[in-house]
Amino acid sequence: MTTTVEPHVIEGYEEYDDGDWIIDREEGVLHVTLHRPQSLNATSYKSHTKLTALWPKVQADPKTRVVLVTGHGRAFCAGADLKEARKRDLSHSEMLDLLREGSAMVMGMVNLDKPIVSAINGPAVGSGAALALVADISIAADDAKIFDGHTTVGVVSGDHSVLNWPILCGMAKAKYYLLLNEPLTGKEAADIGLVSMSVPADQLMEKATEISRRLAKMSQEAIRGTKQVLNHWYRAAQPAFEHSMTLEMLGYYSDDIKEGRRAFEEKRPAVWPSAQDK
């Protein structure tokens, strides 16, 4: 049974007081809970922008030493809010803004020197998978569902996957799961190294909180420096990541994405124009 929690934010994060967030702080750990249960915590354009702006804000917050992020209810984050996205096509300038924002969200997590722990309590897709898997320590419920989502709708895998999947689980596994868009359970993701660990769902928040508190009590200079140098592996992959983001955005002007949207609305398999004989 899902516990009902009213959305609220703490002092210093008042701009997030729009009902889409639950933000608390305890023992140096900033608890950030995505709260859009009506859409499986999918990000609207507005909440995506605020998520991007969160990381510089946390960097400047002297009371926060660790961030613990999760989703309210039965999902972590189902990616972009497709209902909102289908209402209108973005202009060229808006698409460029989304490109910059998507890159800034991921690299903001990479460059934040404070550790981020993700508690993946349910489906994590697209930008939700980015939030879950770019975290420094990712803990998934055994039955959580994780997948990239992009190739199923007819666009290049962007958001984050080119940046970190080959590093986390190896190129062979990354290609298999990203090209075919095969979903993984939390346990399967842990088995291939895509997440740090998986635990039974009823133990998830206890384990994630325990690890977050441990990090908050450690030498902050030591753990922040360690994160900074380890993340040079991600910074080295940033050109490939930026390329993937660009190709993803270009894909939103393609015939394939139009067919993907029609197929989604009509609840049928897509017939991709790019897969038809010329």
Query: CA distances (Å), 197 to each of 51, 148, 193, in order?
Result: 24, 19, 8
Residue 202 has pLDDT above 80, yes or no: yes
Task: Output 85 or 57, whichever has higher pLDDT.
Answer: 57
Which pLDDT band holds residue 261 (cuts at 50, 70, 90)?
confident
**What pLDDT, on a 0 to 100 scale, did the predictor assign at position 15?**
96
Q: What residue ranges define each of the domains in the chain, with the CATH number in brackets? A: 14-275 (3.90.226.10)
Please give the single-letter amino acid code of residue 5: V
Chain segment 217-254, per-residue pLDDT in tens: 999 999 999 999 999 999 999 999 999 999 999 998 89
**Contact assessment for residue 151 and residue 179, using Cβ atoms and an 8 Å cutoff:** yes
Strands of the sheet containing 197-199, edge to edge, are 21-26, 29-34, 66-71, 116-120, 137-141, 197-199
What are the pLDDT digits (tens) for 150-193?
A: 998 899 998 899 999 999 999 999 999 999 999 999 999 999 99
- Of residues 3 and 199, more confidence is placed in 199
The CA distance from 19 to 8, in Å, is 7
**pLDDT tens-digit map of 100-128:** 999 999 999 999 999 999 999 999 999 99
Average per-residue pLDDT in the chain?
Answer: 93
